[in-house]
Amino acid sequence: MSQAPTLHPDELRASLSGQMPALDGLRGLAIALVMAHNLALDGGAPSALSKVVAMLAAAGWVGVTLFFVLSGFLITGILLDTKGEPHYFRAFYMRRVLRIFPLYYIVLALVLGLGPLLPSAPAVLRADAAHQAWYWLYLSNWSEVFGVQLGVFGHFWSLAVEEQFYLLWPLLVYLTSSRGLARASVGVVITACLLRVALIVGHAPADWNYHLTPCRFDALALGALLAIGARNPGVAFTLWQRLRPWLWTSAILTGVVFLAARGFARRDPLVQSAGYFASAAFFTLLLYKSITDGLTGGSRWQRFLCSRPLRVLGRYSYGLYVFHVPLNSLSLALVPFPTGEDVAAPRFLALMLVHVLVIAALTFGVAFVFYQLVEKRFLALKRHFEARA
């Protein structure tokens, strides 16, 4: 058996705090999966190729799971590293506010505030105006429990899940030891898995398992467990070797679910009961592999993550996530897409590819502009809110 690598503590600390190019690459991979999932369209004459494309696009939702794992890992790490400092809570919440709120609330104000006032605005951009309180309060992932169906900003459910995580987790980290936090994280993982099964058995709407916070906290908790383990003396330098076999196990389990369910559709009961956890575990272990590969000489996987396209996507991933669905909805409202079965499969797939590339390019342009004009300026203010005195 190969020996565990010797990692310099400063290098490890930088990686655990998110200061690694590979982590931008993982964000880029996550947003690419999510955009492929949300921008792909159904329609056209059925064919073997169109079924494969639809199946792969339907599995792109796992990019959100990867985002959750990354958030659980990085946020828990930040909290552990600043625990006991005099400005622990203020620093954490202000830095999160500066990162998340400006772009989010500016977009809501522009679309939900000014949009309905424009007589020529497409109806799809005005549909959410009557239910906008769910967005302003970061509760959009709970709206369907109360019979409210959201529209063009429905994808904000995942941002709501993360904000609810940010609200609860800092206090738990503050009040518990690392061992207690690890036990709590394991409890969260088990609870989420059991709750999903209970909702399936109880014939609850399938989207509840996908959107509700308690059902998705296992991915965040798995990322938290990795952050805890990697910071414990004597564990960080050998953890990768012990987890390596489980990386393949989780990958195989994910593949088995994919084949058994004939895809990885997010509403499939088998995917919800086994695939959600398997994919979250796989991404957790893949995250740690990405860190250790970067600190021990690199690998093909590391070079892939550090490629410029993925890193650029990762840098602007937040803006890409915010804008891609509204821009797609606006595009389809202005230029209807041919979706009837009389459209030949090759022509439909070609048109869809052009549509996806155009919307992706437009989204990147908008995200880039907003990053330079809005996000970048607020991010610069984070230096005023350090945990340490």
Which of 80-84, 311-315, 337-341: highest mean pLDDT? 311-315
**pLDDT digit string, tens, across residues 48-90:** 888 888 888 989 999 999 999 999 999 999 999 999 888 899 9
Which position has the higher pLDDT, 130 or 242? 130
Question: How far apart are alpha carbons 183 and 178 in whole angstroms?
Answer: 9
- Kindly state the DSSP code that residue 176 receives in the 8-state scheme: S
Question: What is the per-residue pLDDT for 129?
Answer: 80
Which position has the higher pLDDT, 20 or 300? 300
- Angle between helical axes of 239-260 and 276-295 (0-180°, round to 10): 140
Question: What is the per-residue pLDDT for 2?
Answer: 40
Mean pLDDT of 164-176: 95
Phi and psi of 299, rounded to 5°?
Answer: -165, 175
Question: What is the per-residue pLDDT for 239?
Answer: 59
**pLDDT digit string, tens, across residues 209-267:** 999 999 999 999 999 998 988 777 555 555 556 666 777 788 888 888 888 888 889 99
Question: What is the per-residue pLDDT for 180?
Answer: 92
Q: Which amino acid is at 309?
A: P
Question: What is the per-residue pLDDT for 8?
Answer: 47
Question: How far apart are alpha carbons 310 and 48 in whole angstroms?
Answer: 30
**pLDDT digit string, tens, across residues 4-25:** 444 444 555 555 555 578 889 9
Mean pLDDT of 101-105: 96
Mean pLDDT of 269-284: 93
Mean pLDDT of 294-303: 75
Question: How far apart are alpha carbons 308 and 316 in whole angstroms?
Answer: 13
Q: Which amino acid is at 102?
A: P
Buried b (16+ CB within 10 A) or exposed e, 109-137: eebbeebbeeeeebebbbbbeebbebbee
Question: What is the per-residue pLDDT for 105?
Answer: 95
Question: What is the per-residue pLDDT for 17?
Answer: 52
Question: How far apart are alpha carbons 164 and 166 in whole angstroms?
Answer: 5
Buried b (16+ CB within 10 A) or exposed e, 196-222: beebbeeebebbbbbbbbebbbbbbbb
Question: How far apart are alpha carbons 11 and 14 in whole angstroms?
Answer: 5
Domain residue ranges of the chain, discontinuous segments joined by +: 9-384
